């Protein structure tokens, strides 16, 4: 690349960074949809296949899934499946990398086999000390955003907050019926 061509440099930077890692805010019209039943709340969400196609496909193949939810100790406004969940074929590769989460983001952490749901604006991937995967790989303090809660996020947030005081609750995710 010509070092004096600022337009080419900007195009290269946008393609390499923003276009490669940015997750669009809008929901694709053809997005696969799922339903959540959690602590008396019914919510809906979509897979972000445009941001994490392999992770979204592995999660979709797992559905329906019922597991135990617990509030995150270190991630802020987030709750996660207490169960260790294997998404086949992904290894430790992250299709996108995020540390800061938006309300409704659903993330996959392959290092500790965890699916986490952000419910508020103060959610982030944050461990108090370095943790290691089973193979000894240090955790990068990043995770892959592969889905988003799009319906009744307020109800999901209220139910998630209650986990801090009421303890664990069961949550089921299933493919939405069209």
Residue of 16 and 47 predicted with greater confidence? 47
What is the DSSP secondary-structure string of 30-82?
Answer: T--EEEEEETTEEEEEEE-TTT-HHHHHHHHHH-SEEEEEEE-SSSEEEEEES
Confidence of residue 18 (pLDDT cuts 50, 70, 90): low
Q: Is residue 100 part of a domain?
A: yes
What is the tally of structural domains in the chain? Answer: 1
Let me know if residue 4 belongs to a domain: no
CATH number of the domain enclosing 154: 2.40.100.20
Q: What is the DSSP letter of 141?
A: S
* Within a domain: 23: no
One-character DSSP codes across 88-139: TT-TT--SS-BSEE-TTEEEEETTTTEEEEEEEEEEE---SS--B-TTSPBP
pLDDT band per the 50, 70, 90 thresholds, residue 20: low
Domain assignment present for 19: no
Mean pLDDT of 51-59: 95
Tell me if 139 is assigned to some domain: yes
Q: What is the mean pLDDT of residues 12-16?
A: 70
- Please say whether the beta carbons of 168 and 70 come within 8 A: yes
Q: Which of 70-74, 144-148, 169-173 has the lowest mean pLDDT?
A: 70-74
- Any domain includes 68: yes
Integer Cα distance of 10 and 41 in angstroms: 45
Whether 58 contacts 159, CB under 8 Å: no
- Render pLDDT for 93-135 as a digit per residue (tens, 0 to 9): 889 888 888 999 999 998 889 999 999 988 888 877 787 777 8
pLDDT attached to residue 21: 61
Range of the structural domain that residue 129 is part of: 32-175
5 domain residue, yes or no: no
């Amino acid at each position: 690349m010509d070092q004096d061509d600022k337009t080419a440099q900007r195009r290269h930077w946008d393609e390499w960074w923003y276009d490669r890692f940015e997750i669009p805010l809008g929901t694709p019209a053809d997005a696969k949809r799922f339903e959540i039943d959690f602590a008396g709340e019914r919510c809906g969400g979509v897979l972000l296949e445009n941001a994490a196609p392999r992770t979204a496909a592995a999660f979709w193949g797992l559905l329906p899934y019922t597991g135990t939810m617990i509030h995150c100790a270190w991630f802020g406004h987030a709750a996660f499946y207490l169960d260790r969940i294997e998404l086949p074929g992904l290894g430790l590769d992250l299709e996108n990398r995020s540390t800061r989460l938006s309300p409704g983001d659903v993330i996959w952490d392959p290092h500790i086999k965890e699916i986490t749901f952000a419910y508020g604006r103060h959610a982030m991937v944050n461990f108090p000390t370095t943790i290691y995967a089973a193979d000894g790989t240090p955790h990068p303090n990043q995770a892959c955003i592969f889905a988003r809660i799009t319906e009744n996020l307020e109800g999901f947030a209220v139910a998630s907050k209650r986990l801090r005081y009421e303890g664990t609750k069961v949550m089921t995710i299933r493919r939405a019926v069209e």
